[in-house]
Amino acid sequence: MNPCDDPLELYRRMLLIRLFEERALESFSRGLVYGTTHTAIGQEADAVGVVSCTRPGDVIVSNHRGHGHFLAYGGPAEALAAEMMGRATGVCRGRGGSQHLHWEDFYASGILGGTIPLAAGMALAERERSAGAVVVAFLGDGTLGEGVVYESLNLASLWTLPLVLVVENNRYAQTTPIARHLAGSLTGRFAAFGIPVEEAETTDVLEVRRLTQPRLDAARAGEGPQALILHTYRFSAHSKGDDTRDPAEIERYRMADPLPLHAARLAASEVERVQREVQQDLERAFAAALAAAPASPASLTPALGSTP
């Protein structure tokens, strides 16, 4: 059985993401994390539900809010913490920080919209390889304001690429409500290019899996790009502490928190055990990251006369 078919494992991965990001924000406030950090607290069901449906060899393309996608993919928490702290043991040896990651078949970039042409190019490569792999690209509602996204959708549809686009609509582009930055419908943007699209308002990891699997199967079967729009909400600020939302609104959406929703299906003793284990794992991960050597600036510069 795929480990991600286990409901308890789904909870473990969502909890890992939640506690990691809470710890990351706390570390940032202590000056231990450099640059910036964009958390997706509240959106864990998207990351775990979608990624748990992928196969080995599938490619994940993430964005600036990608810690959860990375951890759902199986990326090591210690290496991610070290990367955010600028340590030599980080995912990219301390060069990428919070937003720019590469590990196995996982890629993330903080360039808004710039990930979608990359994902389309990767999907073209996978189609030519004929290995049956699919590229899954996560994007936010704010990314739909970037023109390069629509150029990419056009080519993906024209070339029948094995690409699944997952829109995490958390209702805000940084601090701008969706009603003030997007005209028309979200589904219409994909339908205009002949891309099948499904949408749902859910924070249920099992429902996300149910919606994701047919999209992946269709793309894998050569039916071209697919789109899935997940209406969700982030409880955390856009980045660090810049939050202009009504606190009452945030509390209202907390009523649909994906973790307790899924935990209610599980035995209380098992939930408590997983909570202890994840807490302990993260304590070790952050301690090891903090103890690691800082990334050396010298490693960024090729030796004189060498070929870059």
pTM of the model: 0.91
Is 299 domain-assigned?
no
pLDDT at residue 274 greater than cutoff 60: yes
Is 168 domain-assigned?
yes
**Tally of domains in the chain:** 1
Is 300 domain-assigned?
no
Is 304 domain-assigned?
no
Q: What percent of the chain has pLDDT over 70?
A: 94
Range of the domain at 78: 3-291
Q: What is the pLDDT of residue 300?
A: 64
CATH number of residue 287's parent domain: 3.40.50.970
Is 297 domain-assigned?
no
Average the pLDDT over each of 47-61, 133-147, 237-251 and give the range with the smallest value.
237-251
Q: How confident is the model at residue 208 (pLDDT cuts 50, 70, 90)?
A: very high
Instruction: Name the residue with higher pLDDT: 191 or 183.
Output: 191
Instruction: Name the residue with higher pLDDT: 303 or 8.
Output: 8
pLDDT at residue 251 greater than cutoff 80: yes
Q: What is the pLDDT of residue 34?
A: 76
Give the H or E element holding residue 205. helix 205-220
Compute the Cα dihedral for 98, 104, 109, 113 and give only its sign: negative
pLDDT at residue 160 greater than cutoff 70: yes
Rounded to whole angstroms, what are the CA distances from 276 to 48, 96, 153?
A: 20, 30, 44
Q: What is the pLDDT of residue 2?
A: 57
Q: How confident is the model at residue 301 (pLDDT cuts 50, 70, 90)?
A: low
> Cβ neighbours of residue 30 under 8 Å, at least 6 residues apart?
none
Q: What is the pLDDT of residue 141?
A: 86
Neighbouring CB atoms inside 10 A of 260's CB total 11
Is 261 domain-assigned?
yes
Q: What is the pLDDT of residue 307?
A: 52
Is 206 domain-assigned?
yes
Is 296 domain-assigned?
no
